[in-house]
């Protein structure tokens, strides 16, 4: 990202914003990248009604909720779509030059939906505003350990419940017995003589 590219971005944002919201000023947040703080670009943006703010280091952990889910899903879908596109292109003897662009378009349309974005804001505690969840997200992102309030903590708790239920079902299945010529507990090592003895006992009970 150089100054010319960033200036073009600001100009496009101003064009889109004034078309949709005429007379309303906009606030554009950026990080500490040098081109974001160029005086000439800041002054030009102000003239167009755009206020540029520069958040300090690590602020992005709470001001970029799209990193919580949408971008991860986007990358996964894009990789899958690109791989499939290359395979399809080779099988149909067609070029694969635009595969990445097509994959990105498909992944974006499936990922950046209103429901996904709103959910990301909610889970990060930005909207509705939940300070405790936001602080937990920051601690988690900075490697200070996650709590039950962070997204990772909530996911871990949900996964733990599923694992416990699966373990309970597995234990119940092991404890159940199968009826027939021989009755043995599942997933338990049995000596062959014990199995034969058990079968003889079953046959004797049936004879009685």
Average pLDDT over residues 130-155: 70
Q: How many CB atoms lie within 10 A of CB 81?
A: 19
| pLDDT value of position 57 | 63
Is the peptide bond between 52 and the residue preceding it cis, with omega within 30 degrees of 0? no
Q: How many CB atoms lie within 10 A of CB 199?
A: 15
Answer for the pair 124, 152: CB distance below 8 angstroms, yes or no: no
| pLDDT value of position 117 | 87
Q: How many CB atoms lie within 10 A of CB 201?
A: 12
- Does the pLDDT at position 151 exceed 70? no
Query: Which residue in the block uniquely carries the two structure tokens 């299945």?
Result: 173
Pairing between strand 26-30 and 50-54?
Answer: parallel
Q: CA-CA distance, 133 to 66, in Å (whole number)?
A: 16
- Does the pLDDT at position 20 exceed 70? yes
Backbone angles phi, psi at 50, to 5 degrees: -115, 125
Please report, for residues 7, 41, 96, 132, 187, the alpha-carbon distance to residue 2 in angstroms, rounded to integers and kept in the order given: 9, 11, 30, 37, 64
Q: CA-CA distance, 103 to 99, in Å (whole number)?
A: 6
| pLDDT value of position 93 | 82
Answer for the pair 32, 54: CB distance below 8 angstroms, yes or no: yes
Instruction: Work out the pLDDT band at 123, boundaries 50, 70, 90.
Output: confident
Range name among 61-65, 76-80, 84-88, 187-191 with the lowest pLDDT average: 187-191
Q: Which H or E element spans position 53?
A: strand 50-54
Output the six-digit token pair for 51: 């206020």
30-42 pLDDT, tens per residue? 877 888 888 888 8
């Amino acid at each position: 990202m150089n100054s010319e590219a960033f200036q073009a971005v600001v100009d496009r944002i101003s064009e889109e914003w004034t078309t949709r919201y005429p007379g309303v000023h906009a606030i554009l947040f950026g990080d500490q990248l040098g081109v974001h703080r160029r005086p000439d670009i800041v002054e030009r943006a102000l003239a167009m009604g755009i206020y540029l703010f520069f958040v300090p280091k690590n602020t992005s952990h709470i001001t970029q909720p799209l990193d919580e889910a949408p971008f991860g899903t986007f990358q996964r879908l894009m990789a899958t779509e690109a791989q499939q596109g290359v395979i399809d292109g080779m099988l149909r003897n067609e070029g694969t030059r635009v595969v990445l662009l097509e994959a990105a378009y498909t992944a974006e349309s499936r990922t950046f939906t209103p429901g996904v974005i709103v959910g990301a804001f909610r889970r990060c505690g930005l909207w509705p505003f939940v300070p405790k969840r936001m602080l937990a997200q920051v601690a988690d992102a900075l490697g200070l350990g996650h709590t039950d309030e962070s997204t990772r903590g909530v996911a871990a708790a949900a996964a733990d419940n599923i694992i416990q239920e699966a373990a309970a079902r597995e234990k119940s299945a092991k404890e159940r017995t199968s009826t027939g010529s021989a009755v043995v507990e599942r997933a338990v090592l049995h000596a062959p003589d014990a199995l034969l003895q058990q079968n003889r006992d079953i046959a004797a009970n049936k004879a009685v």
